[in-house]
Amino acid sequence: MKKTHIIGILVIAVAIVIIMSSVGDASTYVSFGEAIERADDGDMTKVHVVGRLKKDPQGHIVGMNYDPLVDPNYFTFMLVDTNRHEQKVVYFNPKPQDFERSEQVVITGNIQNNVFVADKILLKCPSKYTENEVQTNTASL
């Protein structure tokens, strides 16, 4: 075989190894129930959980605790997943901006000691534009 063929095969092999290693790191979307089952089985892989913040009948967030004067890198809140399972979430970073306004929350992490420890929080906030505010202006000729 020629040297170019050998180099080509090596490049393809390296590409396959990189792709396979990145696929192994990808986490999946699960409910809190499945995340708890995985933790009970000893599986500590990261998972995504989609949910909404727990609110009282008046619309106030329940179970949120953040005191930046005591510890700016400790934030806890209650999240209700799509199966209506409620779980305490701990995030060892500052509270994300506009957290209270979010419609939906996606957290990445795993269950540790019966608490979901989040590494990342992604927020889906309501659009700042509502249909009533959007107006079209036409130029008059």
| DSSP assignment of 113-130 | TTEEEEEEEEEEPPPS--
Predicted TM-score (pTM) of the model is 0.69
Residue 101 lies in a domain: yes
Residue 22 lies in a domain: no
Q: What pLDDT score does 134 carry?
A: 47
Residue 40 lies in a domain: yes
Residue 106's nearest CA partner among 47, 48, 24, 33 is 48
Q: What pLDDT score does 23 carry?
A: 60
What's the domain range around 114? 27-124
User: Could you tell me the mean pLDDT of each successive run of 10 residues in the chain, 141 residues long?
Assistant: 84 83 67 90 89 89 90 94 93 91 90 92 74 50 51
Residue 78 lies in a domain: yes
Q: What pLDDT score does 131 carry?
A: 53
**CATH code where residue 34 lies:** 2.40.50.140
Q: Please enumerate in sequence order all residues whose Cβ is within 8 A of that of 93, keeping only pairs 6 or more positions apart, or say none.
A: 73, 75
CA atoms within 13 A on the CB side of 25: 6
Count of domains forming the chain: 1
